[in-house]
Amino acid sequence: MSTIQLPDSLNLPSHLSAHKYFFVCTLTVAAWDTLVLSPRTWRLFRSEGWPLLKIIFHFLRIFMPVEFTVVGVAFFDTQWTQDRCQKFYLFEPICTAILLAAASLVHVTRIYAIYDKSRTVLYGMGSLLAAQIVVTAVCCGFYMSVPLKPGQGCIAGPKHNWVGIYWLLPTLLYTVSFVLAIKRSIDSLSGPQGKPLTPWKLMLRDGLNLYGSVWGVNMVTTLFWFIMKPTGPEDPIKTIITSMAAVLTTSMTLRIILNIRGPLSNGGTFTPTSSSAANTSSTASTARGGAIRSNNFNPTNHTLSLHQLSVAGNPTHTYTLDVRNPKPETEWNDSDVKEVKSGLDSGELNTRPTPSDQDLAEGVKITIDKQVGYDTPYGRK
């Protein structure tokens, strides 16, 4: 009885077969992420201005799927020769280093912003980012083309075990980012505007799950790289999960940008309020030489705190106004529109007296502009 000899493209070693299956999962995640974030990407693209985080967001959105599409072609194409692979194998480690650098820049910018532009945070995390860029660039020179058989694809693998510091430096930066993000969130609970929150709500409010996901996937990759031992130079086991790590790091970093409430300029601001809460701003003027500004509108207890600015040595006073609305807003129907139009025609709705300049000079005029972000976490109306 004769046995059937499979071609080399189908007769794969166990680790190489696992690598191919896992890379299919990587491409699936990349395609799913690209599809799911498309509506929010379009809304962000139409927003005003091009701050740094917006530029990096769109760069990552395009660069990540393009990189792994090209890598997938080289990996699965049975006609891809080893001679061609010798000229191509550095593509993935170099492009992945660029992805990690861009993602790390987002973390540095965001942590620097939520710590109120702290120079210490900027210099510390900036140094880690600079070290990461240098180390990953040097490590790219110590990759090689894994010696596979014809038809088994093109894979880049490390020449030495220490090349795993390629992932160690980004992991260190994401560890610092995760710890600082947790500390900032906890500190916000004890501030003047802080309120008790469960750990779950705090995590969702400040996107700590996103920082934790980035840290976790890079930590697992680093441990996997140093712990797993290949059976030979043709064994690609060390690089099995690196593509998935790059895709997940990019995906979670994009969501960190989208989780920012308000404009993205200068890294955004730290707003310890619910993403669905209304953002309220007020302006006021008084003819007595002082000014009033509004701050801290709480939609839960329906109070608005007004802070009077000190002028000419006068002390600062704080007033709290009850702006409770006992009845929910309702939509207008046709009969309401006709009634108002009839009142306008008859002049019945124009009987309100116009205040004079003297009346305005004796009181305080307060104008409240209420803006609600319904569907975007980054400040579009």
Query: In the chain, where does the domain assigned CATH 1.20.1070.10 lie?
Result: 14-267
Higher pLDDT, 265 or 283: 265
Residue 29 confidence (pLDDT): 94
- For residue 76, give the nearest of 2, 146, 1, 23 by alpha carbon: 23
What average pLDDT does range 177-205 have in this prediction? 85
User: Crossing angle for the helix pair 52-76 and 14-36, nearest 10 degrees?
Assistant: 140
pLDDT bin (cut points 50, 70, 90) of residue 194 is low
C-alpha–C-alpha distance, residues 168 and 366, integer Å: 55
pLDDT bin (cut points 50, 70, 90) of residue 303 is very low
pLDDT tens digits along 312-342: 444 444 444 544 444 444 555 566 656 656 6
Higher pLDDT, 35 or 82: 35
- For residue 82, give the nearest of 234, 212, 286 by alpha carbon: 234
What average pLDDT does range 231-248 have in this prediction? 91
Distances (CA, A) of 198 to 114, 202, 255: 21, 6, 22
What average pLDDT does range 243-254 have in this prediction? 96
The yes-or-no verdict on residue 279 having pLDDT over 90 is no
Residue 272 confidence (pLDDT): 65
Specify the 3-state DSSP secondary structure of 104: helix
pLDDT bin (cut points 50, 70, 90) of residue 211 is very high
pLDDT tens digits along 105-118: 999 999 999 998 99
The yes-or-no verdict on residue 227 having pLDDT over 70 is yes
The yes-or-no verdict on residue 17 having pLDDT over 70 is yes
pLDDT bin (cut points 50, 70, 90) of residue 92 is very high
pLDDT tens digits along 18-75: 999 999 999 999 999 999 999 999 999 999 899 999 999 999 999 999 999 999 999 9
Residue 129 confidence (pLDDT): 97
Residue 172 confidence (pLDDT): 97
Query: The pTM is what?
Result: 0.71
Lowest mean pLDDT, pick from 140-149, 220-229, 267-276, 302-311: 302-311
C-alpha–C-alpha distance, residues 267 and 289, integer Å: 36
Lowest mean pLDDT, pick from 131-135, 209-213, 326-330: 326-330
Residue 304 confidence (pLDDT): 47
Question: Strand pairing partners for 43?
Answer: none
Higher pLDDT, 237 or 319: 237
| DSSP code at position 150 | T
pLDDT bin (cut points 50, 70, 90) of residue 232 is confident
Residue 263 confidence (pLDDT): 86
Residue 332 confidence (pLDDT): 56
Q: Which CATH superfamily is domain 14-267 in?
A: Rhodopsin 7-helix transmembrane proteins (1.20.1070.10)
Residue 167 confidence (pLDDT): 96
Per cent of the chain over pLDDT 90 is 50
Residue 209 confidence (pLDDT): 94
Residue 381 confidence (pLDDT): 41
Per cent of the chain over pLDDT 70 is 69
pLDDT bin (cut points 50, 70, 90) of residue 196 is confident
- For residue 272, give the nearest of 261, 280, 258 by alpha carbon: 261
Residue 356 confidence (pLDDT): 54
* Sign of the alpha-carbon torsion through 207, 169, 146, 216: negative
- For residue 244, give the nearest of 54, 28, 15 by alpha carbon: 28
